[in-house]
Amino acid sequence: MNEELFQLIWLHGLFDMDQLSTTSGLPLSIVNRGYHNHDAGPDFLNARILIDGTLWFGQVELHINAIQWQQHQHHTDKAYNSCILHVVLDDGFECLRQDGTPVPCLSLKNRVRAGLTEQYDYLKFSSAQIPCNKALPYISQVYIRQAIDQALVDRLERKSQWVYDWLQSSNGDWHTVFLAALARSFGFGTNGEAFEQLALNLPMLEICKSENNLHKITAILFGVAGFLDEAPKDVMHAKLRQEWTFQQQRLNLHSLDKSLFKFMRMRPGNFPSIRLAQLAALLQNFQQLLHGLMNVNSIPSMLNLMDAELPDYWQSHYQLGIEGKQHQARLSLNARQTLLINALVPFLFVYGKHTGDENYCVKALDILQKLPPEDNRIIRDWHDLGVEATSALDSQALLELKKNKCSARLCSNCPIGIAVLTSQL
């Protein structure tokens, strides 16, 4: 057994608590096991333990083997003088505090449920994508809901972090923060990193000031993305390149390496070039867009605001200078929903928290609750295991759970994992 499992056993009380006694034979009962200390010092703080009729209030230290008390030098450390109990698996060594007094010891040997170590190892070392897969059908919905809710909070906090970072680097300018959130989200996964780089290099204030100048905004987006470095292949390409040359000098802009953007194995409708054109179309009415998204509450109205019209050129081009068959160039419904989830929700959440106006946080959650769940391989895997996402709120949480807990084997920090360990499955 390792230290982590032993700590979990104490934390969640996964042992037989009937007729406990200290290793010296005094009757003992646990009033409160204390709270887990992740900093320096004893493992559990503020515990309450009744030993031979006296109630003790203080810290608890855990070791697999009692002798580790000495090996870790706790007998010379004043910080451990407040330990009221030493919990071990194997005893056989009397432990003294720095002040010379003995620490009462409780051994959990033969009190830990058989099979617990095997269950823990299975969750920790299984090669399955979702290690608790076999146990999931037997786990109460209460724990599954808890895991989903916890993962949702984790996701919102993780996604909020970069919004905060942007807020700081833009000196509190919410317009540029939302513009960055939007630009970054246009990578739609495959080109996420490239569009993040794009967002970092765009002249945000200039774009905010360029309302209704689609040509200029398009030239800046394509230019910064490195798409206007080549010789022009048609009139549109040439005009954009001319505008970019002017803006690049005027604003001292740098272009990225175009190879950052991936075209391979993508459907033409997802090409980064068409995404840049769609982003430009949205940004030409940026102030109106942001104002509208902040103030309307119905999902259809938000989706309408995101439904920007593109110039005819893009109905017959997926890339600059390369003519193809006619197609619909506007953002699909699915893409607009994804942008609401990835750009608007974290923005509103941080805006609400930062300004103290909780209504925006509620609105962020409401958007997730009202949007349909995403449909991707991970959500389908959860579905196959009987865990259904009924809204984007659920699917966002399940994506987070899989990415940051299941894949990292952090089951001991997950309500479902604890339910698996505490049950007799």
Report in angstroms the alpha-carbon separations of 276 from 72, 217, 261.
Answer: 59, 10, 11
Look at residue 63 and give its three-state secondary structure: strand
84, 132, 320, 341: which one binds ligand SF4 (CB under 6 A): 132
* In the complex, minimum distance from the CB of residue 147 to ligand SF4, in angstroms, rounded to a whole number: 6
Using CB under 6 A, which residues numbered 308 to 347 contact ligand SF4? none
Site for ligand SF4 contains 406 (CB under 6 A)? yes
Q: Which class for 409: exposed (0-12), middle (13-18), buried (19 or more C-beta within 10 A)?
A: middle
Cβ-based nearer residue to ligand SF4, 131 or 272: 131
Residue of the chain from 49, 51, 89, 130 that contacts ligand SF4 (CB under 6 A):
130
Give the shortest CB-410-to-ligand SF4 separation in angstroms.
Answer: 6
Identify which range of 91-99, 187-195, 203-211, 404-412 contacts ligand SF4 by CB under 6 A.
Answer: 404-412
Q: Which residues contact 31 (CB under 8 A, 6 or more apart)?
A: 48, 49, 50, 55
Longest dimension (CA), the chain: 92
Q: For the purposes of burial, counting CB atoms within 10 Å of the CB of 259, is it exposed (0-12), middle (13-18) or buried (19 or more)?
A: exposed
Binding of residue 104 to ligand SF4 (CB under 6 A): no
Residue corresponding to tokens 């459907």: 267
Contact with ligand SF4 (CB under 6 A) among 88, 350, 414, 421:
414
Instruction: Give the H or E element holding residue 405.
Output: none
* Spatial separation of the C-alpha atoms in residues 88 and 8, rounded to whole Å: 13
Closest CA to 273 of 231, 232, 321: 321
Closer residue to ligand SF4 (CB): 354 or 409: 409
For ligand SF4, which stretch binds (CB under 6 A), given 19-27, 45-53, 64-72, 406-414?
A: 406-414
Q: Does 405 bind ligand SF4 (CB under 6 A)?
A: yes
The answer to whether 239 touches 152, Cβ cutoff 8 Å, is: no
Tell me the window of 67-75, 184-192, 282-290, 412-420 that interacts with ligand SF4 (CB under 6 A).
412-420
Burial 98-129 (b: 16+ CB within 10 A, else e): eeeeebbbbbbeeebeeebeebbebbbebeee
Q: Which of 123, 152, 225, 421 binds ligand SF4 (CB under 6 A)?
A: 123
Give the C-alpha separation, 132 to 32, whole Å. 29
Applying CB under 6 A, the span of 60-68, 127-135, 152-160, 391-399 interacting with ligand SF4 comes to 127-135
Query: By CB under 6 A, what part of segment 143-182 binds ligand SF4?
Result: 147
The stretch among 22-30, 202-210, 227-235, 407-415 that binds ligand SF4 (CB under 6 A) is 407-415
Note the residues at the interface with ligand SF4 (CB under 6 A). 123, 130-132, 147, 401, 405-406, 410-411, 414, 416-417
